[in-house]
Amino acid sequence: MHFNFKTNRIAIALAALMMVSGSMAWAQKLIDPKATKETTALYRNMHDLAKKHTLFGHQDATDYGHGWRDEPGRSDVRSVVGSHPAVVGVDIAPLTGRSKESIQKSEARLRKLVTDTYARGGITTISWHFSNPVSGDDFYWKDSVSLPAVKYIIPGGKNHQDYKVILQGLAGWFKSLKGANGEQIPLIFRPYHEFDGDWFWWGKAHCTPDEFKSLWQFTAGYLRDSLDVHNLIYAFSPDNKFNTVAEFTERYPGNNWVDLVGMDNYGDMGRDGKYDLKQAIKKLKIVNDFALENKKLAAMTETGLESIVNPVWYTDVLLKVLQTNKLNLAYVLVWRNDTKSPTHYYAPFPGHAAVPDFKKFFDDEYTLFESDLKNIYGK
């Protein structure tokens, strides 16, 4: 069977890596010195696996898919290849800016998604399409409606206390995520993504670099040091607007505040029929090299081709971009499969023309899915 063969090779490779590195102090440390042992193990194991593999991720994979919702055990990816993605994206947008009753319902639903993924041995990454906490509209910037909330919610801002209350609510949910033995479930937390664009209220046009850094540092510091949240891996992910290391790091809050660096890139990967794979490869190498130099994880935190209109996109585009340079990428995540839209999907489902190619992508030893992971939270 493919699963066993591939998994055994990975187990042997991991064991060899542990023998080599086991006697040495672990060089890549989380920014949280009190991180739980499971969170620390996940970080270490992702570093090890990234030397030869990249984990495949899909946003909202187990919550809903093309034409379905709320069917435990289902994902479009599993329906095609027999395994869930190794990384499942979950968005905590419903946990802020809603009524108390709505938030409580969403907390329970999302908690189950995270807990089920952890129980299967998979990994959860958290994004946050955070509704504007000052002007009260959604996460997108709307001219003449939205307010530049960053300057208001950072320390010294008139809405800073409101923001602390919001983080207190999130901290309670983060800490409520427990495994079978009562241990807290590790998460990759990726707030304020695509900040180099202007479409979100935290975007480049709506706050200065120093304001953004202050927001990031306060958020991570308050969760970690004041609210005792110790199960997070903090991920920094701009869009693809950079061309140099200096541009990539313009809003970087510093090595003491980030565990993982990534890039969201749809624009170079076929969106609107436009491919610039040389640029995608170049930018991914910038991310990868910065991560290696600064002892961070690296990832392609979002990508995809809507409707997968190119049926060989997964092997002919994505795999080539990932493998052109010998990169150490922890994971790549494609965006969601909307339950109602006939066109808004990024992973194939049964009957789609991209299924044969996706199976080749799955079979490639470079890619890891949930069925390939063994004891990702242990030694």
Q: Are 343 and 300 in contact (CB under 8 A)?
A: no
Q: Are 13 and 52 in contact (CB under 8 A)?
A: yes
Residue 64, marked binder: no
Query: Within a 10 A sphere around the Cβ of 91, how many other Cβ atoms?
Result: 18
> How does DSSP assign 105-146, residue by residue?
HHHHHHHHHHHHHHHHT-EEEEE-----TTT-S-SB--TTT-
Please tell me which residue in 38, 107, 194, 211 is annotated as part of the active site. 194
Which amino acid makes up residue 29? K
SS3 content of the chain, % helix, strand, coil (to 5): 40, 15, 45
Pairing of strands 331-334, 87-91: unpaired
Please tell me which residue in 38, 107, 211, 302 is annotated as part of the active site. 302
Q: How far apart are CA 254 and CA 263, in angstroms?
A: 17
Q: How far apart are CA 71 and CA 48, in angstroms?
A: 33
For residues 232, 234, 235, 238, the Cα torsion angle rounded to the nearest 10 degrees is 140
Q: How far apart are CA 285 and CA 329, in angstroms?
A: 10
Whether 194 is a known active-site residue: answer: yes
CA atoms within 13 A on the CB side of 162: 15
Nearest in space to 330 (alpha carbons), one of 252, 238, 244, 263:
263
Q: What are the residue ranges of helices labelled H in 29-99?
A: 37-49, 76-81
Whether 302 is a known active-site residue: answer: yes
Residue 206, marked binder: no
Name the residues annotated as catalytic: 194, 302
Which residues fall in the annotated binding site for substrate? Answer: 129, 199, 266
Annotation: binding site:
129, 199, 266
